[in-house]
A and B are shown apart, each in its own frame.
Chain A
Amino acid sequence: MWVAFKRVVRSGFVGFWRNAFVSMASIFVMTVALLVITATMLVDQLLGASLQNIQSKVDINVYFVPDAAQPDIDALQHSLEALPEVAEVTFTSREDALAQFEERHQDDELTLQALHELGDNPLGASLAIRAKETSQYEGVARFLDDQQAQEATQSPLIDRVNYARNKEAIERLTNIIKAVEKSSLIAMAVLVAAAVVITFNTVRLAIYTSREEISIMRLVGASNTFIRGPFMLQGVMYGLIAGILALLITYPIVIWLGPATESFFLFNIFAYFVHNFAHIFLLVVGSGVVIGLVSSILAVSRYLRV
């Protein structure tokens, strides 16, 4: 068994080395295909980070009346935090709201003067609510509407909710995010499928050039395993080398793109590549090895049928 394995391995290496041109051509095509898969994966991460970033900037603000009691505000905050669609609720006190207002208008002498003439702080406290998905803001807004409806008979707590004003923008953003996610998924699927098909055909073509050799091996009484083994090893070697080459080519590209993606998308692609290298390596090299192996098994089987 060990001797047969040793011979299959040796035969695989000999075939790989002595059919260098076919091997190089196969590796080249597989490298391009794996680069497409790597690029698709990185673009997906970039897109995901960008969408996350945009989503994090969207929120609903609940403005309370200036004389709203703090325990009532706390109770509403706790109710909101208990909602499954809510990711985060941030409280801003009346004092903080005034300080932020003054800072925002520090160059607007007229507004500041008008504020001081009022004597008292006219601003109320507020809650900024961030949902897990942009599509969930409507549910949160409905909850707040119910709250307001219950308050009508008592002394009012909520002054206004800014959802209605932002509704159109939030809905448009939700639609854009859904469309981008859907199209990127389709584009990724098409690109990965194309890469797999191209790789499969390349390996098949490489083995097609060896079909005469396969028939000779059969004639001298080689078993199917003995014939298939070296080609399987060659398929694995194509995938392994192409995967490593694809990562080596990607490395300087992500170094170059890192600062640009950081400033434009607030996501450093180089940092992502380095922090997730083990995962990316396994995915890219693993894909190459699996595709190479499966392609070679399927291609050789065709010539082993009696």
Chain B
Amino acid sequence: MIYFEKVSKKYNGGQSVALEDVTFQVAPKEFVSIVGHSGAGKTTLLKMLIAEDRPTDGAVYFESLNIHEIPKTKLPKYRRKIGTVFQDFKLLSHLTAYENIAFAMEANGRSDEEIAENVPQALSLVDLDDKGLNFPGELSGGEKQRVAIARAIVNQPDIIIADEPTGNLDPIATYEVVQILKKINDLGTTVIMTTHNKGVIDELGRRVITMDEGHIVRDDNEGRYAL
């Protein structure tokens, strides 16, 4: 389903190497964690997947489609197949939790009726039924991240990409977010997550790709944190 083929990413005319000759694939409904020190290339990898950055060499395929050959005008449509969750939540500060989730559906061209039906369901899935009218500034870190997850899943994407989703959270909120991601994966959505959190990896007990200086150094099914 997702295939990275000998992907390299170099900056400053090749002086700075973010990724080098990275090859791996992710099957549908998998839950893959990517671990590594800061600067190992984890975020660059995810940026390639959401077409925010282009590889210097190699190709990234999504359902046999080379992502970086997608015309610019078609990129929004491609991105709607992917739900994204970030460490800093990336919520629209002037919209309420409900509106943030609805925005993703509006951008997707969904009808008002669908929005009215699906947004409360998404809020309910992340256990925030009573927080729909709150602005991001009125929510805790864990709640913000759960809104971000609700926004990511509301269009029923094929993949969820989570870049350090628990990086800013306390242990309880971290546990809640991981449980939600597991639940989403159990419902059939592929999840690719980067993290530094050993506890999260050990708790998940799923596939772990370990990166170091732009290379994949380990790829273990049911792996454990090994840095």
Whether the pair B94, A224 counts as a contact (CB closer than 8 A) is no
Task: With A212-B90, A216-B90 as known contacts, state yes or no: A223 contacts B107, CB within 8 Å.
Answer: yes
Per the bound structure, the CA–CA distance linking A219 and B47 in Å amounts to 10
Given contacts A219-B50, A221-B80, A19 and B104 within 8 Å (CB-CB): no
A213 touches B84 (CB 8 A): no
Count contacts on B: residues with CB < 8 A to the other chain: 29
Beta-carbon nearest neighbor of B108 in chain A: A221
Instruction: Among B76, B91, B93, B94, point to the contact of A222 (Cβ < 8 A).
Output: B76
- Decide if A218 is an interface residue (CB 8 Å cutoff): yes
- In Å, the complex CA distance between A3 and B102 comes to 14
A:196-241 near B, CB below 8 Å: 212-213, 215-224, 226
- Identify the interface centre among A7, A221, A222, A224: most chain B CB within 10 Å of its CB: A221
B90 and A222 within 8 A (CB): no
> What size tier do the contact residues of chain A reach?
20 to 34
Q: Is A112 on the interface with B (CB-CB < 8 A)? A: no
List A contacts of B61 (CB < 8 A). none
Contact (Cβ within 8 A) A306 B107: no
On whether A217 and B107 interact (CB within 8 A), knowing A14-B95, A212-B90, the answer reads: yes
Chain A residues whose CB sits within 8 angstroms of the CB of B106 once the complex forms: 7, 11, 226
Judge if B112 is at the interface, Cβ distance under 8 Å. yes
Known: A3-B111, A3-B112, A306-B51. A218 touches B79 (CB 8 A): yes
Asked if A226 and B107 make an inter-chain contact with CB atoms under 8 angstroms apart, the answer reads yes
Closest CB of chain A to B162's CB: distance in Å?
Answer: 13
Would you list 21 pairs from A and B whose C-beta atoms are within 8 A, ordered by A residue? A3-B111, A11-B103, A11-B106, A18-B95, A212-B90, A213-B92, A213-B94, A216-B90, A216-B92, A217-B103, A218-B79, A220-B80, A220-B103, A220-B151, A221-B76, A221-B78, A221-B80, A221-B107, A222-B76, A223-B107, A306-B51
Q: Which 10 A-B pairs have the closest CB atoms?
A: A221-B80, A222-B107, A18-B94, A221-B79, A220-B104, A223-B76, A216-B90, A221-B76, A7-B106, A219-B84
